[in-house]
Structure 1
Amino acid sequence: MSALADECYRETAPLLISHPSETTLNEVPPVDDELGVSRWILMRQEAWWLFTSSLPLSLSYLCQSSFTFVSMLSVGKLGVNELAAASLAVMLINFIVLMPCVGLACALETFCSSAFTASRDKTRVGFHMQRGLVAVTLQLLPTVLLFGFIDTLLQKIGQTPEVATLCGQFLRVWLIGSWPLVAFECLKRFVQAQGIMQASTWVMAIVAPLHMFNSYALVWSPTLGLGFIGAPLATAISNWLMFFLLAAFIAFGKAREAWGGFSLDCLVGIWEFYRLAIPSAAMMACSWAAFELVTFGSSIFGPVALAAQACIFSAMTLTYQTPSAIGSAAAARVGNSLGQGKQRRARYASYVAIGMGYVVGMACSLLLFTYRRRWGYIFSDDADVVALCSTLMPYFAAVQTYDGMNGLVAGIMRALGRQSLGAVLAFPSFWILAIPIGFYLGMGPMDLKVVGLWLGLAVGVIVYSLSQQCYILFCVDWRHEVKVCLDRLARCSNPKVNETRELLISSSSLSSSSVSFSDSYGSLA
C-alpha cells in the first residue's frame, strides 16, 4: 500500500481513480461501473457523440486545409512554373515543418485527454500542453536556416532555376507565420482534450473568409497585388490570426480552467513527453514522407506532372480532413474514457469511429471518381495538366478511403499511447512496399511514370490501414489499457513536486469519483 502511495506522490495532482504502480500492472484493473450498460446503448451514445463532435472539427479542418487549396488556386492561373513551385514549396513545408511538428503536437492527444478526466487538478492539461509548445518550437528553429538557401539546394539536385527560385521565395515568406501555426496545433489539442470541439470551428469561421480575400488581394489585386509571393504572405497572416483568436478563446472561456500558467517546471522530466512524441512524429513521418516523396518523384517528369500532382494532392488534403476529424474526436473520447477507467466505452467508441470512417471514405471516393475529368480545371487551364489529372484521379479515388482511415485510426492509436507500434507498422508498409514498388513501376522497365508512383503508394496505404485496424479490433486488451494510461500519467508528471497528496486507493473510487463522466465533457445522451 505504501509503495502505491509513494508512486502516486510523483504527480502534482492525484488521479481521481486509484493509480496502478509499475509493480501492480498485472493485477486486476479497476472495475468499470458501466458493465451493466448494453453494448447497443453504448454504441448509440458513442455514435451520436462522435457525430456531433466531429462535425465542427470537420468544418474546422476543412477550412484550415483550404488555405493550401486557395493558395494553389491563386497561383495556378499565373502559370505552370508558379503552380509547380507552389506545389514543391507545400511539399517541403509538409515534409520539413508540419510533419515533425504536428507529429510532436499529436502526442498531446495521449496526455491531455487522459489527464483531463483522471486528475483532480485540471491544470495538468495545461502542464502537458506547455511541453508540447516547447517541443514544436525547438523543432522549428533549424528550419529558418535551411529555408534561407533552399533555392540553391534545389537547383543542385536538378530543379529548374525558375521553379527553384520561386519555391525559395514562397518558403521564406511563409516562415513569417510558421510558429503561430505549430503553436495553434498545440492549443487546438488543448481544448479538444476538454471536449470543447467547436473552438477551432469558430476561429476558422472568422479566418477562412479573410484568407480567401487576402489571397485574392495580395496576388491579383491591381492595387495591393504582389503576385506570386502574395499567396504565402496571405497564409502567414491567417496563421497569426488563428493563433491569436484561439488563444483569446482560451483566455476568456471555460478552457482557461485547465491552464495553470507558464512554468519552467514543464521542462523537468520532459523526456516522458518525448517518449511518446518522438514515435508520434515517426508514425506520421513514415506515411507523410512517402506521399511527399511521390510529389518529389513527380517533379522529375517535368512541370506538367508536378502541376497535376498538385491538383491530386489538393483533393487528398480536402478529403482527408473529415476522417482525420473523426480520429481527433475519437482520440479525445477514448483518452477521456481510459482516464476514468471506462474501458468498454473506450472500446466501442473506437469501433464506431472506424465504421463512420468507412462510410465517409467511400462517399468521398465516389465523388472524386465521378468528377475526375473536371477537377483539373479548378487549378489550371493547361490541357496537358487537366488530362494527366484526369488519368491519376481514379487511382487516388481507389485508395482515398484507406488513406482517410489511416488518419482516423492514428487518432485511436495516439489515445492508447501506441505511437511506437504505429511507426513500426508504417515503416514496412511505405518504405519496404510502397516506395520501392512505386518507383520501380514509375521509372523501371514498365515506365508508368506518375501512374506507377501512385500504384505503389496505394499498396502501402492499404497495408498500413488494415494492419492498424486489425490491431485495434482484435489485439487491444482494453482493461489493461486503463492501467497503462494511469501509470503513464503519473510517470510523466513533475517529479520535483514534494507535496503529499491524498490518494483514492480503493478501486471502488471509480464509481464514487467526484467528477462524473458526463460532467467532464457533456451529456452522453
Structure 2
Amino acid sequence: MSATSLGTMADEHYRETAPLLPSHPSETTLNHEPMVDDELGVSRIALIRQEAWWLFTSSVPLSLSYLCQSSFTFVSMLSVGKLGVNELAASSLAVMLINFIVLMPCIGLACALETFCSSAFTASRDKTRVGFHLQRGLIAVTLQLIPTMLVFVYIDTLLQKTGQTPEVAALCGQFLRVWLIGSWPLVAFECLKRFVQAQGIMQASTWVMVVVAPIHMFNSYALVWSPSLGMGFVGAPLATAISSWLMFFLLVGYIAMSKAREAWGGFTWDCLDGIWEFYRLAIPSAAMMACSWAAFELVTLESSMFGPVALAAQACIFAAMSLTYQTPAAIGSAAAARVGNSLGQGKQRRARYSSYVAIAMGYIVGMACSVLLFVNRHRWGYIFSDDAEVVGLCSTLLPYFAAVQTYDGMNGLVSGVMRALGRQSLGAMMAFPSFWVLAIPIGFYLGMGPMDLKVVGLWLGLAVGVIAYSLSMQCYVLFCVDWRHEVKVCLERLVRCSNPKVTETRERLAAATSLSDGYGSLA
C-alpha cells in the first residue's frame, strides 16, 4: 500500500471522533466555567440510542482488527498442526509462554493508557497530553520486555525440568527465540493502538490489519510449507515476527499522515518526571490481567502433564477462546474510550449509560458465540488436527467452554469499563480470589484429585472462577459506581500524573471541585 493511499485513509477516517460536544473535545473541558453535565435534558432513551449506535459503529471495526490480530496465532497453529502432534503441542506451549511472560504484563501495562489517554484527550486543551502518556506507556513496555530475552535463551532446559519431553522442549525453544524478533514492535503497536482509540479513531488498526492479515496468511504457508521458501516449524514464528513489524510501521505511518499526529507532540524526557503516577495504575492493570490470564495459562501447562494429546486438544480450545473473546474485548475497548472521554468532559450520565449499553451488547454477542461453539463442537478439532484422539477430547471439552464463554467475554468487556474508571486495583482484588482461591484449587481437585477428571476437571474449576469474576465486576459497575464522583477522581488523576510545571490545570480543577455538588441528577 502506498504512502499516499494510507494518508488518504487516515484523513478520511479521522472524522470518527466521538461527537460529545459541538466543539472539539480538547478545547472545552477543565475551563473556568462550572463543570455541570449539560446533557441532563437528554432523555434516557435518547442516550441509550446514541450510545448503542456509537458503540456499535466503533466496535465493529475494532472487532475486525482484534479478530485479524488474534487469527495470527490461529493461522500459526494451523500451519504447524499438520506437521505432527509434537509440533502442535510445542507451538501451543510456546504461545502459552508468550502470553504469560510477554503479552500478559506488557499489554496489562499498555491498558493503563485507556485510563489516561481517553480522559486526557477531552479534559485538556493541550492534545499533546495524550502523546505524553503514550511515551510513558512505551517506556514501561520496553523495560518490561528486556528480561524476557534472558528467559527465552534458557527456556529449553527449564521446560525439561518441568516434565516436558526433550522433543517438545526443543521445538518450543526454537519457536520462542524466533518469535522474539518481533516482540517489541508488537507491544509498541498495542500502545499506539490505544493512543489512536483515545482520540475516537477506531478504524486505524482495522486498516492496518486489512493490509497485514493476507500477508501473514501467505507467509505462514510459504515459510512453513513452500518447497522453495519453506523452513518447516520455525517458519510459523518468523511469519508472526514479520507481521508484527508490518503492523508497527503501518500504524506509525497512519498516525504520521493523519491529524492523530497532533496529539503526539514529540518525545520529551519530561515524561519520566512523575512516571510513577502512571505505574500506580499500570501495575494494577497488569495484575488484573495477570490474575485471570495466568489462570488460563496454568491450565494449559497442567494439561501438558497429561500428554501431548491433552495439550494439543487444549490448544484447539484456546484458539476458540481467543477468537470468541475478541468481539466482547473490542466492545470493552470502545467503551473504555467512550467512558474516559465522557468523564474527561464531566458527562457522567453519558459515561454511565455507555457502560450499561456495552454490558447489554456483550451478553448478546457472548450468547451467540456460545451457541455456535456448542453446535460445532464435533467439527472444531478437525481444523487443527487429523488425530482422532485430539478431535475426540476437543469435542468433549468444548461444551464446558461454550457454557462459560459468555462470562469470559464479559470479563474482557467490563475490564475496559473498569480501566476507564481507573479502578484497576479493585479489578485485581476481584480477580485474585475468583481465580486463585476458587478456580485453580477447585480445578486441581477435580482434575488431579480423587475424581480424576483430568482436563475436564481443570475446565470446571476455571468456569467457577470466570463466572465469579464476571459477576463481581458487573455488580460493581451496575450498582456501586458514583458517576458524579468519578468525574472528580478522573480530573484529579490527570493533575497528579501531569508534568509538575502544568499549573493551569490545577487551578481549573480547584474551580471544578468547588462545584462538585452541582453535577445534577443521575437519572
**TM > 0.5 fold call:** yes
Are the structure 2 counterparts of residues 38 and 165 from structure 1 closer, same or farther at C-alpha, using a change threshold of 3 Å? same
User: Alpha-carbon deviations, 1:43-101, whole Å to 9, x = none?
Assistant: 00000000000000000000000000000000000000000000000000000000000
For 1:501-512, what aligned pairs fall within 5 Å after superposition?
Answer: 503=508
CA distance in 2, matches of 1:437, 1:450: 12
- The residue aligned with 2:209 is 204
Matched, 1:218 2:223: yes
- The residue aligned with 1:463 is 468
Residue type matched to 2:374 in 1? F
**What is the Cα deviation at residue 385 of structure 1?**
0.1
2:80 is aligned, of 75, 83, 97, to: 75
**What is the Cα deviation at residue 30 of structure 1?**
3.4
Matched, 1:132 2:137: yes
- The residue aligned with 1:519 is none
Task: Kindly indicate whether the alpha-carbon contact (under 8 Å) linking 2:32 and 2:512 is maintained by their aligned counterparts in 1.
Answer: no
CA distance in 2, matches of 1:285, 1:343: 30
Are the structure 2 counterparts of residues 497 and 356 from structure 1 closer, same or farther at C-alpha, using a change threshold of 3 Å? closer
Task: Kindly indicate whether the alpha-carbon contact (under 8 Å) linking 1:268 and 1:496 is maintained by their aligned counterparts in 2.
Answer: no
**What is the Cα deviation at residue 133 of structure 1?**
0.1
- Any gaps of 5 or more consecutive residues in structure 1? 1-12, 21-28, 511-525
Residue type matched to 2:326 in 1? Q
CA distance in 2, matches of 1:17, 1:260: 20
Matched, 1:405 2:410: yes
- The residue aligned with 1:523 is none
What secondary structure is seen at the aligned counterpart in 1 of 2:481? coil
1:377 is aligned, of 378, 382, 390, to: 382
Task: Kindly indicate whether the alpha-carbon contact (under 8 Å) linking 1:17 and 1:509 is maintained by their aligned counterparts in 2.
Answer: no
Residue type matched to 2:30 in 1? I
Residue type matched to 2:441 in 1? P
**What is the Cα deviation at residue 509 of structure 1?**
13
Task: Kindly indicate whether the alpha-carbon contact (under 8 Å) linking 1:19 and 1:486 is maintained by their aligned counterparts in 2.
Answer: no
**What is the Cα deviation at residue 507 of structure 1?**
5.2
Q: TM-score, normalised by structure 1?
A: 0.91
User: Alpha-carbon deviations, 1:124-176, whole Å to 9, x = none?
Assistant: 00000000000000000000011001011100111000000000000000000
Matched, 1:476 2:481: yes
Task: Kindly indicate whether the alpha-carbon contact (under 8 Å) linking 1:14 and 1:501 is maintained by their aligned counterparts in 2.
Answer: no
Matched, 1:273 2:278: yes
Task: Kindly indicate whether the alpha-carbon contact (under 8 Å) linking 2:495 and 2:505 is maintained by their aligned counterparts in 1.
Answer: no
**What is the Cα deviation at residue 396 of structure 1?**
0.3
1:108 is aligned, of 85, 94, 113, to: 113
- The residue aligned with 2:8 is none
CA distance in 2, matches of 1:31, 1:435: 47
| Structure with higher RCO (Cα < 8 A, 6+ apart) | 1
- The residue aligned with 1:16 is 29
For 1:378-397, what aligned pairs fall within 5 Å after superposition?
Answer: 378-397=383-402
2:91 is aligned, of 65, 69, 86, to: 86
Task: Kindly indicate whether the alpha-carbon contact (under 8 Å) linking 2:491 and 2:509 is maintained by their aligned counterparts in 1.
Answer: no
Aligned pair count reads 490
Matched, 1:179 2:184: yes
Residue type matched to 1:425 in 2? M
Task: Kindly indicate whether the alpha-carbon contact (under 8 Å) linking 2:295 and 2:440 is maintained by their aligned counterparts in 1.
Answer: yes
What secondary structure is seen at the aligned counterpart in 1 of 2:255? helix
Matched, 1:288 2:293: yes
CA distance in 1, matches of 2:361, 2:49: 12
CA distance in 2, matches of 1:18, 1:60: 36
- The residue aligned with 2:492 is 487
**What is the Cα deviation at residue 508 of structure 1?**
12
Residue type matched to 2:176 in 1? L
User: Alpha-carbon deviations, 1:237-280, whole Å to 9, x = none?
Assistant: 00000000000000111110101001111011000000000000
What secondary structure is seen at the aligned counterpart in 2 of 1:325? helix
Range that drifts further, 488-497 or 36-45: 488-497
Residue type matched to 1:208 in 2? A
CA distance in 2, matches of 1:500, 1:140: 34
Residue type matched to 2:147 in 1? P
What secondary structure is seen at the aligned counterpart in 2 of 1:16? coil
For 1:341-352, what aligned pairs fall within 5 Å after superposition?
Answer: 341-352=346-357
Residue type matched to 2:321 in 1? M
- The residue aligned with 1:260 is 265
CA distance in 2, matches of 1:264, 1:48: 40
Residue type matched to 2:407 in 1? Y
RMSD: 1.8
Are the structure 2 counterparts of residues 36 and 14 from structure 1 closer, same or farther at C-alpha, using a change threshold of 3 Å? closer
Are the structure 2 counterparts of residues 136 and 19 from structure 1 closer, same or farther at C-alpha, using a change threshold of 3 Å? farther
- Any gaps of 5 or more consecutive residues in structure 2? 1-25, 516-523
CA distance in 2, matches of 1:417, 1:504: 18
- The residue aligned with 1:142 is 147
Residue type matched to 2:244 in 1? N
CA distance in 2, matches of 1:490, 1:254: 25
**What is the Cα deviation at residue 500 of structure 1?**
9.3
CA distance in 1, matches of 2:443, 2:502: 53
What secondary structure is seen at the aligned counterpart in 2 of 1:372? coil
Residue type matched to 1:357 in 2? G
- The residue aligned with 1:151 is 156
User: Alpha-carbon deviations, 1:388-409, whole Å to 9, x = none?
Assistant: 0000000000000000000000
Task: Kindly indicate whether the alpha-carbon contact (under 8 Å) linking 1:19 and 1:505 is maintained by their aligned counterparts in 2.
Answer: no
Task: Kindly indicate whether the alpha-carbon contact (under 8 Å) linking 1:19 and 1:483 is maintained by their aligned counterparts in 2.
Answer: no
Residue type matched to 2:167 in 1? E
CA distance in 2, matches of 1:163, 1:387: 22
Are the structure 2 counterparts of residues 280 and 157 from structure 1 closer, same or farther at C-alpha, using a change threshold of 3 Å? same
What secondary structure is seen at the aligned counterpart in 2 of 1:223? coil
**What is the Cα deviation at residue 16 of structure 1?**
2.6
Residue type matched to 2:443 in 1? G
1:40 is aligned, of 38, 45, 61, to: 45
- The residue aligned with 2:423 is 418
**What is the Cα deviation at residue 31 of structure 1?**
1.8
1:243 is aligned, of 234, 245, 248, to: 248
Are the structure 2 counterparts of residues 376 and 346 from structure 1 closer, same or farther at C-alpha, using a change threshold of 3 Å? same
Matched, 1:53 2:90: no
Task: Kindly indicate whether the alpha-carbon contact (under 8 Å) linking 1:14 and 1:502 is maintained by their aligned counterparts in 2.
Answer: no
Residue type matched to 1:300 in 2? M
What secondary structure is seen at the aligned counterpart in 1 of 2:41? coil
CA distance in 2, matches of 1:76, 1:264: 47
Task: Kindly indicate whether the alpha-carbon contact (under 8 Å) linking 2:87 and 2:233 is maintained by their aligned counterparts in 1.
Answer: yes
CA distance in 2, matches of 1:331, 1:235: 28
Query: What fraction of aligned residue pairs are identical, expressed as a percent?
Result: 86
1:232 is aligned, of 237, 249, 259, to: 237
CA distance in 1, matches of 2:163, 2:227: 35
